[in-house]
């Protein structure tokens, strides 16, 4: 996706409309594509990429999609009509065109949400949404109900995520009830989709004033552990910058033996995962290991991955381990629209893989380079360069300001890569680089929001953890 020597790039960006397209060409062949907002031609671009066919004859219209290339493409028909039934539409869930068409005809589906519910197509990463809508339009015909231009948070309201954010800030709503009443919610108590979003918008907009509602969080965040497929839980304690001690390792080993925890695994984020913990044992495990919550279960800061840096490595230019520890200590209790992963590498060799993290910090001889918006998930995205700074204090300020901006502007469940694609990197640079006073204010506001945040594993009352959930229900004799 980054291109390189001998490649050409065709880019279309509409930040206001939320559309970004980038095509990478080499020797008159498509070798890479990045689509955000409008992904309707994704499967066609993928076919061109896979087949390795020359695009010389359609180059001028390539960016505008298959529907704009005349007889060399669909010959006047909808792309959905030309696809065979066995063609895979949704790669995340393995859904074919035939499965979607069958569900539409047999179940009488007329909206995208109905197709998602019955087939799971477009229900994961969303990159196939445009194509699913084309299939729906082609199959349902005049009964097709197009999705509104402004996407509502859920079926309880017509308000978008931005509408909710703006209303909470402008009207100073502090409770769910105020939001539902003020924005005309059709349900009195919301639903499983809107409640977590509204809860996040309230506590992130008005920290110290709006109260967190644990019942509006997902089960993992209520239990402060990750539920597994068999109903047990995983426990991942925080290890600052991937650093641990012999005493911590002994306590982890003793807890694994005491509670008969079947699996102990090292994670990709340089932490240790205890898998197979019974729910009633969670408080005991937390107490015995005596380490802070790793928040591996939440929409929050997960890990700050580091290499050994200049302290040990002969190639290291900066002390990446200490830098990572400092960042993690400052941000460890941060809730956010989605999970946040950070990495700090001590030199450009980038052993901590900072290039695919939400925030990546790379040490160079003259200071630090900061990258933002990387993602190693379903669709790998390389982080974009934000700024080069000289001191560790500047790393903290710029990193904190960016995450503060993300916390206050991103929509719930929107990763940093999608947030940046929606608002544009220029907007981020304007707020973080061009406005020094605003940058400091963002960082200070984030520090204010995080100051005094309790550790849910050890301060259950302050963190509003309902400890009754860990008490096993007594068996009633027949």
Cα angle, residue 464 at apex, residues 463 and 465 outer, rounded to 5°: 95
Structure tokens at 130: 């445009």
Compute the distance between CA of residue 398 and CA of residue 444 in angstroms, rounded to an integer. 11
Compute φ and ψ for 264, nearest 5 degrees.
Answer: -125, 120
pLDDT at 344: 98
At 46-102, the pLDDT tens digits run: 778 777 888 888 888 788 776 554 433 344 445 667 778 888 888 888 899 899 999
- Provide CATH 3.90.480.10 ranges for the chain: 220-293
pLDDT at 70: 45
- Provide CATH 3.30.390 ranges for the chain: 8-76
Compute the distance between CA of residue 38 and CA of residue 66 in angstroms, rounded to an integer. 13
Reported CATH class of domain 8-76: alpha beta
Architecture of the domain spanning 81-143: Orthogonal Bundle (1.10)
- Provide CATH 1.10.10.1100 ranges for the chain: 81-143
346 to each of 341, 357, 368, how far by Cα in Å?
17, 15, 9
Beta bridge partners of 90: 95
pLDDT at 10: 87
Q: With contact defined as beta carbons under 8 Å apart, do 259 and 278 qualify?
A: yes
Write the secondary structure of 372-389 as one string of H (helix), E (strand) and C (coil). ECCECCCCCECCEEEEEE
Would you give the distance in Å from CA 305 to the centre of its chain?
17
pLDDT at 109: 82
**Dihedral sign (CA 401, 406, 446, 431):** positive
Q: Residue 304, CB half-sphere, CA atoms under 13 Å: how many?
A: 27
Q: With contact defined as beta carbons under 8 Å apart, do 235 and 282 qualify?
A: yes
Compute φ and ψ for 332, nearest 5 degrees.
Answer: -60, -30
Helix axes 129-140, 97-107, angle to 10 degrees: 50
Could you please state the CATH topology (level 3) that the domain comprising 220-293 is classified under: Sulfite Reductase Hemoprotein; domain 2 (3.90.480)
Whether this prediction's pTM lies above 0.85 is answered by: no
Burial class (CB in 10 A: 0-12, 13-18, 19+), 131: buried
Beta bridge partners of 346: none
Pairing verdict, β 367-372 and 359-364: antiparallel
pLDDT at 240: 98
At 384-443, the pLDDT tens digits run: 999 999 999 999 999 999 999 999 999 999 999 999 999 999 999 999 999 999 999 999
Q: Which secondary structure element, helix H or strand E, spans residue 31, and what is its range?
A: strand 29-36
Mark residue 152 as left, alpha or beta (left: phi above 0; alpha: psi -120 to 50; beta: remaining): beta
DSSP 160: B
Mark residue 324 as left, alpha or beta (left: phi above 0; alpha: psi -120 to 50; beta: remaining): alpha
In the three-class reduction of DSSP (H, G, I as helix; E, B as strand; rest coil), residue 221 is classed as: helix
Beta bridge partners of 302: none
pLDDT under 70 in the chain at which residues? 1-4, 40, 43, 66-80, 141-149, 474-478
- Provide CATH 3.30.413.10 ranges for the chain: 298-454
Q: What is the DSSP string of 290-358?
A: T--B--TTSSBEEEEEE--GGGT-TT--S-HHHHHHHHHHHHTT-B-SS-EEEEEESSTT-TT-GGGSS
Q: Which secondary structure element, helix H or strand E, spans residue 427, and what is its range?
A: helix 425-432
pLDDT at 67: 59
Compute the distance between CA of residue 152 and CA of residue 411 in angstroms, rounded to an integer. 12
Would you give the distance in Å from CA 224 to the centre of its chain?
19
CATH number belonging to domain 298-454: 3.30.413.10
pLDDT at 149: 58
């Amino acid at each position: 996706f980054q291109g390189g020597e001998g490649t050409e790039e065709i880019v279309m960006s509409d930040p206001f409309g939320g559309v970004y397209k980038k095509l990478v060409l080499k020797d008159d062949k498509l070798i890479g594509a990045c689509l955000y907002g409008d992904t309707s031609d994704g499967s066609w671009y993928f076919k061109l990429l896979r087949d390795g066919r020359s695009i010389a004859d359609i180059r001028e219209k390539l960016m505008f999609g298959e529907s704009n290339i005349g007889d060399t493409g669909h010959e006047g028909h909808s792309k959905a009509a030309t696809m065979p039934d066995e063609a895979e539409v949704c790669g995340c869930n393995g859904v074919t065109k035939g499965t979607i068409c069958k569900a539409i005809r047999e179940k009488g589906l007329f909206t995208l949400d109905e197709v998602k519910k019955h087939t799971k197509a477009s229900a994961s990463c969303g990159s196939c949404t445009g194509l699913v809508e084309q299939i729906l339009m082609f199959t349902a015909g005049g009964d097709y109900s197009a999705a509104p231009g402004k996407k509502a948070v859920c079926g309880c309201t017509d308000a978008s995520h931005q509408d909710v954010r703006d209303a909470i800030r402008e009207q100073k709503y502090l409770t769910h009830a105020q939001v539902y009443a003020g924005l005309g919610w059709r349900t009195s108590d919301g639903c499983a989709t809107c409640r977590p979003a509204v809860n996040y918008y309230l506590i992130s907009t008005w920290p110290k004033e709006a109260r967190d509602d644990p019942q509006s969080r997902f089960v993992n965040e209520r239990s402060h552990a990750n539920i597994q497929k068999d109903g047990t839980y995983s426990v991942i304690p925080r290890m600052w910058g991937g650093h641990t001690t012999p005493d911590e390792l002994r306590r982890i080993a003793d807890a694994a033996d005491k509670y008969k925890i079947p699996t102990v695994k090292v994670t990709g984020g340089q932490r240790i995962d205890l898998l197979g913990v019974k729910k009633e044992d969670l408080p005991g495990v937390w107490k015995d290991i005596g380490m802070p919550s790793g928040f591996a279960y939440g929409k929050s800061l997960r890990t700050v991955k580091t290499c050994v840096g200049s302290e040990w490595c002969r190639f290291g230019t900066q002390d990446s381990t200490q830098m990572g520890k400092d960042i993690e200590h400052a941000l460890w209790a941060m809730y956010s629209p989605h999970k946040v992963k950070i990495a700090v590498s001590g030199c450009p060799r980038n052993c901590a893989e900072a290039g695919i993290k939400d925030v990546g910090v790379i040490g160079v001889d003259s200071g630090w380079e900061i990258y933002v918006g990387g993602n190693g998930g379903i669709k790998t995205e390389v982080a974009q360069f934000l700024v080069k700074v000289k001191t560790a204090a500047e790393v903290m300020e710029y990193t904190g300001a960016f995450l503060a901006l993300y916390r206050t502007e991103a929509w719930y469940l929107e990763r940093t890569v999608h947030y940046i694609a929606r608002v544009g990197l220029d907007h981020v640079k304007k707020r973080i680089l061009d406005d020094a006073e605003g940058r400091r204010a963002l960082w200070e506001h984030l520090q204010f929001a995080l100051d005094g945040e309790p550790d849910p594993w050890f301060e259950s009352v302050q963190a509003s953890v309902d400890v009754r959930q860990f008490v096993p229900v007594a068996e009633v004799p027949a």
